[in-house]
Structure 1
Amino acid sequence: MVFENVKKFREALSKYAIERGCQLDKIHNDQRRVKVKCKANGCPWILYASKDFKSSDFIIKTYNPRHKCYRTNTNTMCNSKFLAKYYKSRIVSQPCKKGWEIQDLVRTDMGLYVGKFVCLKARKMVLKKIMGDHVAEFSRIYDYRDMFLESNPESTCVVKVTNCDDGKKLFHSFYICFSALKKGFIEGCRKCIGLDGCFLKGISKGQLLVAIVKDGNNQMFPIAWAVVGTESRETWTWFLRILKSDLDINDEGERLTIISDMQKGLYLAVQELLPKCEHRMCARHILANWSKNWKGVEERKRFWACARSTFEAELRKNLDKLAQLGKDISNDLVNFNPNRWSKAQFRTSLKCDSVDNNMAESFNAWVLGARHKTIISMLEEIRKKVMNRFTKVITFVNSWTHDISPMAMLVLNTNVKKSMRVEISWNGDIGYEVKDSPYIHVVNLIQGTCTCRSWGLKGIPCAHAIAAIHHDEANLLESVCKWYKKETYLKAYKHFLQPVTNMKMWPKTLNPKVEPPPVRKMPGRPGKKRKKELGEVPSSGKLPKRGKTMSCSACKSKGHNIRTCPNKPPATSQGIATSQASASSKRSGKQKSHPTQAVQQSQSSEPSQAIVQSDNGNRKGANNAFKRPKVVGHGVFVSKDGFICAEQGRSISKVIKSGAQEKLISSAIVTGDLGYVPSKGLK
């Protein structure tokens, strides 16, 4: 059998050993020759191959195919390098695959057990190859900008660098906004923008700033994104200034709504550049901060009832219900300013009633795999994902059963069912009085308003408006806002992103090379999951004990455990003989005296030896067996004839007085009756 080179031969040898399930011992393994035999005792299998210097091929010279051994479930040849090549396609398609998942694949496909860290190393090797060259991509960031603008004219791409003292240019930030996305936002989306930032997982740590809106089906529609070092007022101001210019916002945001988290730098940037916009705060982040002092399931339910209240009277009613759960609980919530998180205080002109920033959070999760890559590879993957999503919209629109979006139709059908339970009265003109206990609302079909404000907030008729429309025998679908119509929806997606060639196709240019930002090596293993806020329930695994009331096993009361029990009896100092005798009696059934018991009995008024019992903690079975006490000192021994010795029987013993004579002598030549027989050393 002939192989092209030694590398191909070794690959075939590893594959054979893993499929056969045998361990091989390499006797010779170099570029000229490879000799291996089976590791099992008495197994005659052997193979020898060497290089043919005439043809440079690798030829098998000696081979005994007979085995006398059995299969094993471990194999040293099934290492990280082999797994990286064997499972490359699976890891590339699923870059977030866990180590234990790869372990299960190996066990299922090959019948072998491999360690978790071998699997993690194999995944790391694959991802490192596909992530791209970190330094090379930053050095050609200007070339990427030029190619991007060439293929997508009228788009915006900004590279910001820092000029160093040595003449080098250090990467600072990168902004990108496609012309198709700008036009789609202006023509087919509501003017309610969600802003958020997420961490990058690659070599150079940084953050991805995004601006997202909702389309006619309440799905995410990205507008622009940027790569920055940190999320601060400076970076958000830079991002919003370019975004404001791209979207032709010239009225200081008077007809615009911004939804964000409670990031201080973002808040200050919005106040500076868009002072007249409606700035909503994500209700989920408000809840996370408020619930630090007010925890509980009922408290969360009442909070969301307040956040989703659409008119003032309903908000006051829900705040009163919340106040019944604790003193100052509602005042603490109102301190967060309901104008930023409650529907009752939102504007009705934008037809968007979102109280959270889930659309931006969804985009961050959608591009999670790309966030592990280097900068150009990441930006290209995000572009491809957005481009492919646009192509799927045409097929999706063809599945619509009505002229309005499926989401709007779902809300409309829900409100139709609710309208069957209301009582309606007509004034004979254009006014309708709708009783929805305990409130009575007024509907005006000409102005398209209802005093519950739900119709104005969302743009879809509420239950009270639907009852009036049915009474007027008007077309219900015509009362739905234009933003949910198929025609408007297609306007948002009628412009397309144009493809871009990869880095190997780019021509050489005179653009300056950009240095990557300094790599910050963080301590420990990098985290992969977002840290849960207080009160968030984990998706799987053991539930946390936060908020659970502790109970004491000593006094059986609530609020503390046995360690901090106020009724716990104080620890009494007992002699060694008592503690050891009781422990020995528990173990053997009869009490035994300790060798130092006589010493302790001979000490009358002199200082007694100090005993400190070791704290065994709360380990299971910690107190079941005898534990040797920790001896601090034996104290001072005084005999009848005047002999005084400190720390008698220990290596640090010292004779203080030897009877009649005052001369200090060694403790080793004491002749008095000590009443103590040492277990070790001099007898």
Structure 2
Amino acid sequence: MYTMAQLWADVYMCCCCTFPEPSEGFKAEVRLPWCAEFKLLKDDKDLQVIFKMFTERKLSTIRVDFELQPFANLPLEAKDVPHAHMNSSSSSTNGTPSRTEVSADFLQISIDDDEEEYVPYSGSGWKADANDEEDSVDDEVAGKDKDIAESDNNSTDEQLSNAASFQFDEEFMEVADNDEEEGQSRPRRGRPFRVTNDGRVALEVGQLFHNLHQFRIVLRDFAVQEGFELKRVKNDKERYTAFCAYEGCTWRIHASPIEDRRTFMIKTLQNRHSCQKLQKNHEATAVWVARRFKCLIEQNPEIKVKFLGREIQRIYGLTLPSYTLYRAKNRVLQKTENEHSESFDKLYNYGYIVRQRNPGSMTLLKTITPDLGAPSRFQRFFLSLQAQKDGYIFGCRPFIGLDGCHLKGKYPGVLLSAIAVDANSGVFPIAICICEGESKDSWGWFLQQLYCHIGLDDNRRVTFMSDRQKGVIDAIERFWPRSNTRHCVRHITANLQAKYKGQLSAVYVWNAANKSNKSDFLAEMENLKEANIDAYNYMMNIPLKHWALHAFDAYVKSEHTTNNITESFNGWIDNYRELPALSMMESIRRKLMKRMHKRHEEAMKWPTNLPPLVYKKLGERQDEARFVTVLCASDHEYEVKDEIKYFIVNLLTQSCDCGLWELSGIPCKHALAIIAVKRSHGEDFVHQYLTKEAYLKTYRNVIHPIPDEAHWPHIQHNKVLPPMQKRMPGRPKKIRKRGPEEPPKQKGVVKSISKQTPKKRAREVGSSSIAPNIRRRVFTQVPPTITQNQVEGNASQHGDVSSQPLTVNAPLHSSGNASQPTQSIANSGTIAGLDIDWSPIF
């Protein structure tokens, strides 16, 4: 409730810039506009009655007249006498001041108490500038003011923050507290600067600013808002004088510090213009745009400068050049060199907090020491959360796509990724790794850690899909010897077209690669042989099990012949690849955390026991099943006529001569025709990898949030320096160069891997018609511990993969010498960077 004491304190502050003395009294009267009478306010009850009366009449402005009362006769000590003076002109100790009214004659008062408190305007970003801390240094200690005079049009007083807002300190005026001074005068009156309710800047004589820096920023905002440019005549810590830059215009402002020599007050303001407003304003610099639209750019990193320019045109009526908008956007998004450098050292503590908040997760930081005694430099960082591991083992098919994408930040590098596919053909990342580049050594290290974290606990035969990157095939054969490999057909056809010109050969290869049975495959290859014998020989030299669908392992239940799942993931995180290493890893973790929860919540609402994409594909094949003829041979064996061809179907072994049922896990049209004859349900013949139950197992685990960096425990470790920079020739490229066979990128098309409307046709991989997510329930099964015998057995078969014994205390931070690098395998239950048993914590 707004009280009389609060009202009196606010009025006194506006008039005298200080709080009233305890002994001072007042008399308040309210003018009633509907009857031209005055009502005396005696207590808080009268004030509430006035509020109610004005509210009933829908009046929002109340005029209150205040009159100071004589001081009460209080016994004063000798040293308190000077403080009893009302002002410097008073000759007596208890003089009676004259009647004082609010200078504006009207005081805006609301029944809501909160409106009287100052709340910074959030819409336009009025916050204190980061460099204001320099201005807070006491002049007596610093010896000189920290403010720097700015030039006429190009100043550096604005920084990358919303600098026009501040927290108002009631003690704007410093009054000397010298007991020996007599007849001391009060500080000059003034009002603290505040933005209006609609976020606009309104300047008046007597407004107070914390310092010159804030005054400059507010004045620039005012000039852009009103559409004129400034001509700065005086611009230093003693005074600030500026005119309108238009010749002949009468607008003028002058401000200078008050008694504390720091707080600036507007002394003179001629606020009338005799010029036209500008559409091109030099006051709207890139620094100004970056400060005013920082929140918009940070929340939308992919924002187009054309859209940003239209927003500025809509709000301020300005037309800014494109280079100014580009500089402003880059100024917001581009991180400083220190942020990029320090992020590598923070990965050590980040690994610790990830393990502490998500037990069972694996984080491994590998450094390299160029010379003995030299500081360590970053080389690689591996991250795989326990929720990702459990989701893959218990809910996904044993199919993993491998790929790497270049980082776009200050320091070069590559982000390696291992991506699985859920029951709805959606992308499910299981591990990522920052490394120096794609090589045999980096891929080997990544797959080695992936095997230690997941492979030892998963007895299934895994199939890897890759683009045949440098070293990835050798690494798979070494660390995953029981696995199968597939090669992306898109990359194979790209190499084919580069070597043998012509589009027809690529078409035949695509058709042959996607045939689910051998007879259809050979027919397409005959067409390729007739078109280009050299292309035919080139393709036949590649083992069919790597690229032909009919030769794939049917155990995987996956029809993928391309590596689009990893390409989709690379596009999904494209906006994060230019961030510092720590920010990038945290952004990806947060995005995965939200995605898993959302997908589980949506999956719980599915009306069927099949994911939407599987249900849709099953329905399409059921429609096609109406046009085939079923011939019964036994209870489980049938012969089906499809046009002029005959196919043998066995319901017991769930096989068909067309090969599609075994490879995909979904009954083909020949099997569905038999199922319809037997009056059974097609859903009962879908493989368990493609059910709602498997989907929920994938997303039922929780990625626990990570606290703010300020709350991380500080772990002692050797400082990690950023990797060495290798300057490449030419301008750094952030956009991948497309191949000659690839179509140009369509403008305005937004790619997504998480959502599609049910009415749209589902794409091959990387997306699903509905984006279900996980339920917030912790998966309680503890993965088995990696034993030394298991690692030694693997090393004996496939080479020595560890240079140190694997124990519960194995450190997660490995370092090696440049001339003789070492490798290490980390236990999934250890904490990053510590050679301590942390199992009691969990």
TM-score (norm 2): 0.62
Pair 235,121 (structure 1): closer, same or farther in 2 beyond 3 Å: same
Range that drifts further, 85-94 or 316-325: 316-325
How far did residue 378 of structure 1 move? 1.0
Where does residue 480 of structure 1 map in the other structure? 686
- Residues paired across the two proteins, number: 540
Choose the corresponding residue for 1:213, options 401, 414, 420: 420
Residue 84 (1) aligns with residue 284 (2): no
Post-superposition CA distance 1:316-356 (Å, at most 9, x none): 11122334444534333333433211211111111111111
Where does residue 236 of structure 2 map in the other structure? 30
Aligned AA (2:399)? C
Pair 58,129 (structure 1): closer, same or farther in 2 beyond 3 Å: farther
Residue 59 (1) aligns with residue 265 (2): yes
How far did residue 172 of structure 1 move? 1.0
Instruction: State percent identity of aligned pairs.
Output: 32
Aligned AA (1:414)? E
**Unaligned segments of structure 2, at least 5 residues:** 1-206, 748-842
Residue 144 (1) aligns with residue 350 (2): yes
How far did residue 292 of structure 1 move? 1.7
How far did residue 170 of structure 1 move? 1.0
SS in 2 for 1:420: helix
Where does residue 411 of structure 2 map in the other structure? 204
Choose the corresponding residue for 1:355, options 553, 557, 561: 561
Where does residue 186 of structure 2 map in the other structure? none
Residue 174 (1) aligns with residue 381 (2): yes
Aligned AA (1:240)? L
Contact 1:193/1:212, CA 8 A, preserved across alignment: yes
Contact 2:230/2:242, CA 8 A, preserved across alignment: yes
Contact 1:311/1:452, CA 8 A, preserved across alignment: yes
SS in 2 for 1:78: coil
- Tell me the distance in 2 between the aligned counterparts of 1:130 and 1:369: 17
Residue 122 (1) aligns with residue 328 (2): yes
Contact 1:131/1:372, CA 8 A, preserved across alignment: no
In the TM superposition, 1:513-532 aligns within 5 A as 513-532=719-738
Where does residue 276 of structure 1 map in the other structure? 482
How far did residue 465 of structure 1 move? 0.8
- Tell me the distance in 2 between the aligned counterparts of 1:419 and 1:294: 40
How far did residue 525 of structure 1 move? 3.7
Where does residue 9 of structure 1 map in the other structure? 215
How far did residue 106 of structure 1 move? 2.5
Residue 364 (1) aligns with residue 574 (2): no
Where does residue 47 of structure 2 map in the other structure? none
Residue 497 (1) aligns with residue 706 (2): no
How far did residue 526 of structure 1 move? 2.8
Contact 1:3/1:9, CA 8 A, preserved across alignment: yes
How far did residue 371 of structure 1 move? 1.4
- Tell me the distance in 2 between the aligned counterparts of 1:350 and 1:535: 30
Contact 1:48/1:61, CA 8 A, preserved across alignment: yes
In the TM superposition, 1:296-375 aligns within 5 A as 298-375=504-581
Choose the corresponding residue for 1:511, options 717, 720, 743: 717
Pair 130,94 (structure 1): closer, same or farther in 2 beyond 3 Å: farther
Residue 415 (1) aligns with residue 628 (2): no
Where does residue 446 of structure 2 map in the other structure? 239
Residue 455 (1) aligns with residue 661 (2): yes
Choose the corresponding residue for 1:153, options 336, 359, 362: 359
Contact 1:132/1:377, CA 8 A, preserved across alignment: no
Where does residue 741 of structure 2 map in the other structure? 535
In the TM superposition, 1:624-663 aligns within 5 A as none
Residue 41 (1) aligns with residue 247 (2): yes
Post-superposition CA distance 1:402-438 (Å, at most 9, x none): 1111010011011111111222211134221112234
Aligned AA (2:403)? D
Residue 188 (1) aligns with residue 395 (2): yes
Post-superposition CA distance 1:167-217 (Å, at most 9, x none): 311111111111111111111110001111111111111111111100111
Residue 225 (1) aligns with residue 432 (2): yes
Aligned AA (1:122)? A
How far did residue 524 of structure 1 move? 4.2
Range that drifts further, 521-530 or 116-125: 521-530
Contact 2:397/2:689, CA 8 A, preserved across alignment: yes
Superposed CA RMSD in Å reads: 2.0
Post-superposition CA distance 1:487-521 (Å, at most 9, x none): 22111122111111232222333221111112334
How far did residue 250 of structure 1 move? 8.0
Contact 1:160/1:171, CA 8 A, preserved across alignment: yes
Pair 438,276 (structure 1): closer, same or farther in 2 beyond 3 Å: farther
Choose the corresponding residue for 1:135, options 326, 341, 361: 341
In the TM superposition, 1:594-673 aligns within 5 A as none
Contact 1:307/1:355, CA 8 A, preserved across alignment: yes
Where does residue 600 of structure 1 map in the other structure? none
Residue 401 (1) aligns with residue 607 (2): yes
**Unaligned segments of structure 1, at least 5 residues:** 542-683
Where does residue 392 of structure 1 map in the other structure? 598
- Tell me the distance in 1 between the aligned counterparts of 2:299 and 2:690: 35
Contact 1:139/1:514, CA 8 A, preserved across alignment: yes
Contact 1:254/1:276, CA 8 A, preserved across alignment: no
Where does residue 278 of structure 2 map in the other structure? 72
In the TM superposition, 1:567-578 aligns within 5 A as none
Contact 1:309/1:315, CA 8 A, preserved across alignment: yes
Pair 424,130 (structure 1): closer, same or farther in 2 beyond 3 Å: farther
Residue 265 (1) aligns with residue 265 (2): no
SS in 2 for 1:140: helix
Choose the corresponding residue for 2:651, options 428, 445, 453: 445
- Tell me the distance in 2 between the aligned counterparts of 1:136 and 1:31: 36
Post-superposition CA distance 1:430-478 (Å, at most 9, x none): 2211122343211000111011111010100011111111122222110
Pair 45,13 (structure 1): closer, same or farther in 2 beyond 3 Å: same
Contact 1:348/1:453, CA 8 A, preserved across alignment: no
How far did residue 366 of structure 1 move? 1.1
- Tell me the distance in 1 between the aligned counterparts of 2:467 and 2:359: 33
Contact 1:423/1:436, CA 8 A, preserved across alignment: yes
SS in 1 for 2:527: helix
SS in 1 for 2:562: coil
SS in 2 for 1:457: helix
- Tell me the distance in 2 between the aligned counterparts of 1:142 and 1:472: 61
Range that drifts further, 330-339 or 453-462: 330-339
Where does residue 655 of structure 1 map in the other structure? none
Contact 2:312/2:319, CA 8 A, preserved across alignment: yes
- Tell me the distance in 2 between the aligned counterparts of 1:28 and 1:50: 10
SS in 2 for 1:124: helix
Post-superposition CA distance 1:94-116 (Å, at most 9, x none): 22334444333333332222222
- Tell me the distance in 1 between the aligned counterparts of 2:361 and 2:601: 26
- Tell me the distance in 2 between the aligned counterparts of 1:159 and 1:480: 42
TM-score (norm 1): 0.76
Aligned AA (1:167)? A
Pair 491,132 (structure 1): closer, same or farther in 2 beyond 3 Å: farther
Tell me which of the two structures has the higher relative contact order, counting C-alpha pairs closer than 8 angstroms and 6 or more residues apart.
2
Pair 300,53 (structure 1): closer, same or farther in 2 beyond 3 Å: farther
SS in 1 for 2:408: coil
- Tell me the distance in 2 between the aligned counterparts of 1:128 and 1:536: 30
Range that drifts further, 389-398 or 104-113: 104-113
How far did residue 537 of structure 1 move? 0.9
SS in 2 for 1:264: coil
- Tell me the distance in 2 between the aligned counterparts of 1:535 and 1:490: 39
SS in 2 for 1:328: helix
- Tell me the distance in 2 between the aligned counterparts of 1:197 and 1:421: 45
